[in-house]
Amino acid sequence: MHDHPISHEGHALTRHLEVVPEFEDDLDRPAWWHKEQWIWARTDWSKIRKPMTEETRRRAYAREGIPYPGDEQSAPEQPAAAIAPPQPPKPKVAAPKAYTYLIAADGTHLVKIGIAKDPIRRLKELQTGQPMELHLLWSVAENYENDLHVHFAAYRVRGEWFDLTPLGDPIDAVKAAVGEIEVSRS
């Protein structure tokens, strides 16, 4: 018997760990694997998996855009005159590829001039690594980032962060610079 004072016979743990002989093999598998194989082989899946109803099947066909079998004949034929002529495709309004943005950090005079497809999302990404609160001051649907970095190179603190306080309001300074860049591009 066992040296342990509590009897383990019939205990759920020992039943769970016993190897089921018909699944025993020469591979070094844990005992629970054999038990799961035994349970899996004896499960009556017809009682667990519900058969697909006709309504569910029809929805699946409709979702895939496939006519349901048997409905092709019952659908009334549309006269050729009743079918509307194809409409020309509507012109798609292209979303801007990039926004140039200006972000400020609370408690400092620093602003970041950057570019992103979604400035609000970029603000949230930047906020993750910053101890101070960041605010989106301004954005425009065009790529002016490199031109603005060159324009404000004398005010660069580090990377894309600038101290534009000597120029007054940073938003006004950036807007004026964008106006100059627009004139030089045309």
Question: What pLDDT digit, counting tens, does each position of 16-54 carry?
Answer: 555 555 555 566 666 666 667 667 676 666 666 666 778
- Cα-Cα-Cα-Cα torsion 136, 141, 144, 148, nearest 10 degrees, comes to -30
Structure tokens at 114: 């950057």
Whether residue 141 sits in one domain with residue 177: yes
Residue 84 lies in a domain: no
Task: Fill in the amino acid letter for 105.
Answer: A
Q: How far is 178 from 185, CA to CA, in rounded Å?
A: 10
Last residue of a domain, one of 35, 55, 73: 73
Q: How far is 149 from 151, CA to CA, in rounded Å?
A: 5
Whether residue 106 sits in one domain with residue 58: no
Q: What's this model's pTM, rounded to 2 decimal places?
A: 0.50
The pLDDT of residue 51 is 66
The pLDDT of residue 95 is 65
The low-confidence residues of the chain, meaning pLDDT below 70, are 1-35, 37-38, 40, 42-51, 72-85, 92-96
Helices (H) then strands (E): counts for the chain: 8, 5
The pLDDT of residue 48 is 63
Structure tokens at 39: 């349970």
Whether residue 105 sits in one domain with residue 166: yes
Give the CA radius of gyration of the chain: 35
Query: Residues 125, 127, 130, CA angle at the centre, nearest 5°?
Result: 130
User: What is the number of domains present in the chain?
Assistant: 2
Residue whose entry in the numeric block shows the structure tokens 């120029």: 167
Residue 90 lies in a domain: no
Q: At a CB cut-off of 8 Å and minimum separation 6, what does 16 contact? A: 31, 32, 35
The pLDDT of residue 144 is 94
For residue 103, the surrounding DSSP H or E stretch is strand 99-105
Residue 37 lies in a domain: yes
Last residue of a domain, one of 73, 89, 117: 73
Residue 88 lies in a domain: no
Q: How far is 171 from 152, CA to CA, in rounded Å?
A: 13
Give the residue numbers spanning the domain of 17.
9-73
The pLDDT of residue 1 is 45
